[in-house]
């Protein structure tokens, strides 16, 4: 992960992002501009699948929406979902769910750091999906680690088997010939 090491205020970070027309997207991490991994087609399709599945079970869901909950850390999770949406253009309150989709360039230590930050923002459920290995993990706040899961037991009482995620992904991939 290549980080712009110069300390930026939030305003400077926003101006930096506005000045960029192409290339990687960045997140604001404690005064630094940290690039998001460049997603490939598999990554992007899984984002769509997760968005659709969360919507199907009653959540309002968004792809790479900037969370403006903290003045020092403003991530853009791959998918974010909440039960009760508001009219704010950028979220300023914790979401119910964030899901990160791993890219080949993601570093495990950075993924764990991101999960800890989400926990600090009071995100109730944090999921990490690996489309290459076809695994899903959930952040365990008490243990401070990611744990393998076979079902997503959601805050609204719905349960999504992880197998359904991969079946939906395969269906979407077959439809698009990826």
What is the C-alpha separation between 100 and 108, in angstroms, rounded? Answer: 12
All domains of the chain in start order, with CATH: 1-35 (no CATH), 39-176 (3.90.1570.10)
pLDDT in tens, 39-61: 889 999 999 999 999 999 999 99
What pLDDT, on a 0 to 100 scale, did the predictor assign at position 1? 46
**End-to-end CA, the chain:** 27
Phi/psi of residue 98, nearest 5 degrees? -130, 145
What pLDDT, on a 0 to 100 scale, did the predictor assign at position 2? 52
Q: Give the lowest-confidence range in 7-21, 91-105, 136-150.
A: 7-21
Closest by Cα among 52, 56, 78, 57 to 67 = 78
CB count in 10 Å sphere of residue 146: 19
What pLDDT, on a 0 to 100 scale, did the predictor assign at position 6? 74
In the three-class reduction of DSSP (H, G, I as helix; E, B as strand; rest coil), residue 52 is classed as helix
pLDDT in tens, 78-116: 999 999 888 888 889 999 999 999 998 888 899 999 999
% residues pLDDT > 70 (the chain): 96
Closest by Cα among 57, 63, 55, 78 to 131 = 78
pTM for the whole structure: 0.90
How is residue 72 annotated by DSSP? S
Instruction: Read off the tokens for 104.
Output: 């080949």
């Amino acid at each position: 992960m290549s980080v712009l090491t110069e300390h930026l205020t939030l305003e400077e970070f926003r101006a930096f992002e506005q000045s960029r027309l192409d290339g990687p997207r960045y997140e604001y991490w404690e005064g630094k501009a940290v690039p998001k991994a460049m997603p490939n087609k598999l990554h992007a399709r899984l984002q769509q699948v997760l968005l659709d599945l969360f919507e199907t079970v009653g959540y309002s869901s968004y792809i790479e929406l900037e969370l403006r909950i903290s003045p020092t850390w403003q991530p853009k999770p791959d998918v974010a979902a909440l039960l009760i949406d508001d009219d704010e253009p950028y979220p300023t309150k914790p979401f119910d769910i964030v899901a990160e989709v791993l890219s080949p360039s993601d570093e495990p230590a950075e993924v764990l750091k991101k999960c800890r930050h989400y926990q600090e923002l009071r995100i109730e459920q944090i999921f990490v999906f690996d489309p290459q290995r076809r695994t899903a993990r959930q952040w365990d706040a008490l243990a401070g680690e990611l744990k393998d899961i076979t079902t997503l037991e959601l805050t609204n009482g719905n349960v999504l088997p992880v197998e359904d995620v991969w079946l939906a992904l395969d269906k979407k991939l077959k439809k698009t010939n990826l």
